[in-house]
Amino acid sequence: MIDELLRPFDFEFFRNGLIVATFAGALCGMVGVYVVLKGMSYIGHGLSHAIFGGFAASALLGVNFALGAGAWGVASALMINGVTRRRVIGADAAIGVITTASFALGLALFALFGRRGGSFDAALFGSILGVSRSDVWATIAITALVALVVFFGYRQLLFTTFDPEVAEASGVRTARVDAVLMLVLATSILATMQVLGVTLIAATLVIPATVARMLTNSFSRMLWLATGIGAVTGFVGMNVSYHLDVQSGPTIVLVGACLFAAVFAATGTRGLRRTAGLDKHPGDAPHPVPAP
Amino acid sequence: MAVGAELVRLEHVTCAYGAAPVLVDVDLTITDRQFSGIVGPSGSGKTTLLRTLLGTVRPVSGSLQRRPGLQVGYVPQVEAVNWSFPVTVGECVLMARTRGRILPWRSKAEQGEVGDILDRLGIGDLAGRHIRELSGGQQQRVFIARALLGRPQLLLMDEPTSGVDVRTRHEVIHLLEDLHRDGLAIVLTTHDLNGMAAHLPHLVCLNTEVIGQGSPRQVLTPEVLERTYGARMEVLEHAGMPIVLDTYTSSDNVVPLRRQAGGGTAGA
């Protein structure tokens, strides 16, 4: 039994995939706290689809995936951030247009020019095959970088997430903080796309944060818990993925969903009350925009 | 009211969201130790005026002058707060110490400051509680504590007694009176003419433009109120304080509900 459980560790591709999935889970769990509390789950979902367009373009042009999809993701993130802050049209509608158009462009490029370079299915649903040493180090480096941003920007991020108007009035540069958060989100999606796939990244952003919220009323504890839950989910999901011979992305998400169900059952109405209204945030309230 | 040093001065200020003006040609001066209420109907620009004083809404025209170095505290309307947000009372109050701080944990000095301010407001034992697990009055005190931690000279409050019961309203009024006595200038918005506005030393009646300002006895008059609210109101006096009565009369087309002799209500 133990030998069977440890058998995949004999393979380098699995060890690489496991490390990437664990760090990617922690990364998504950490960033997901802000995504969930700012009511940005839809942006996370949309951004992962937008990056798919960059993935397709970079595969076809023969450009380095990280550079091509990364630049595309950053541009999409800044565009979404700009649209969301301006509130000229409904944010959901604008995000829908930007991200689905980018996703559709990726599909069209693949249809027109074939699936050169990167794997189409792997981009959509994730795969641990082909996770190289350099991918492992890149994921660890991005996780460390994001952790540093969250550490040193902890107070600014918290205040801006909870009460952007008062934060702005108190001298916090909320526009800059929001832009940094969008860049962090785009980078996290980019780092985790290979293992999780674009269609499932949103779940790994949302589930650990939601589970953590059901367990605590403190922001700092929620941040730690979500990071840990994301890492554990990635680790367990990768192992289950190997033994059931199912793609890594869906397995990791299903492990997270099972954990959510278990915590939901254990905390009952208390957990429900804590998560109720998580999507309500000060930005939802009518909020005047300074006249030009 | 004794006139103190000027904190903020608005001259001919107009604010707009897009093309629609919300405030027109507003002249207003806030002085040291002033305690004012802004009253007016919904959509009259009360919150915009507060945000203009705060500095988050920029005037389209006119001038806004703030005393150099002026610290302004802001207490948002409770309806605007996300009560599901995972934040304890201590974490919430500490948000006032964000600018220029890079370490996430609170220092000993900050811990002491937060403790002192919570003790001063009578909620010292609630630092570890989630903000939703408090009464209405305690919730107001948390956000007042956060504003006070920034050591403001001017405190702005948006509808501090909106949706609270009579006891909580009294708590809030007494607390604000104490803070004012300690030297803080306070400007708040309110819909509550009798429960809140009539207790304040100075009122501003607003309906896109300033209709009148002065003591409650000076501005809570049928003429000013009709111009402010577009509806007739009667004003009585009780214990030296004006009491505003809503003298709604139905038009010929509206059938009012009428209290029947046996109690209860029924359509006529």
ipTM associated with this complex: 0.80
pLDDT in tens, A110-166: 777 765 555 666 667 767 677 788 888 988 999 999 999 999 999 999 999 999 988
Q: Is B39 helix (H, G, I), strand (E, B) or coil?
A: strand
> Which residue from A minimizes the CA distance to B70?
A170
pTM of the predicted structure, to 2 decimals: 0.81
- Pairing outcome for strands B202-207 and B35-39: parallel
Q: Name the residue among A162, A170, A275 with its Cβ closest to that of B87.
A: A162
Bridge partners of residue B245, in order along the sequence: B234
Q: Which of B13, B57, B70, B87 best probes binding to A when mutated, by most A CB atoms within 10 angstroms?
A: B87
Query: Residue A224 belongs to what H/E stretch?
Result: helix A219-244
Residue A44's contacts (CB-CB under 8 Å, 6 or more residues apart) are A32, A35, A185, A189, A201, A202, A205, A206
Query: Residue A251 belongs to what H/E stretch?
Result: helix A248-275
Quote the minimal CA–CA distance from A22 to chain B in Å.
25
> Which residue from B minimizes the CA distance to A174?
B99
Q: Do residues B241 and B200 touch, judged by C-beta distance below 8 A?
A: no
Q: Residue A194: which of A3, A5, A24 has the closest Cα?
A: A24
Q: How far apart are CA A154 and CA A176, in angstroms?
A: 14
Burial zone of B263 (CB within 10 Å; 0-12 exposed, 13-18 middle, 19+ buried): exposed
Bridge partners of residue B233, in order along the sequence: B246
Quote the minimal CA–CA distance from A170 to chain B in Å.
7
Q: How far apart are CA A184 and CA B52, in angstroms?
A: 33
Is B49's Cβ below 8 Å from some Cβ in A?
Answer: no
CB < 8 Å to A155, chain B: 94-95, 97-98, 101-102, 104
Q: How far apart are CA B204 and CA B221, in angstroms?
A: 13
pLDDT per residue rounded down to tens, chain B (268 residues): 445 789 999 999 999 987 788 999 999 999 998 999 999 998 899 999 999 999 888 999 999 999 998 999 999 888 888 888 999 999 999 999 888 788 888 889 988 999 999 998 888 899 999 998 888 888 888 999 999 998 999 999 998 887 777 888 888 888 899 999 988 999 999 988 887 777 889 999 999 999 999 988 888 888 998 899 888 888 888 877 888 887 666 554 544 454 444 444 333 2
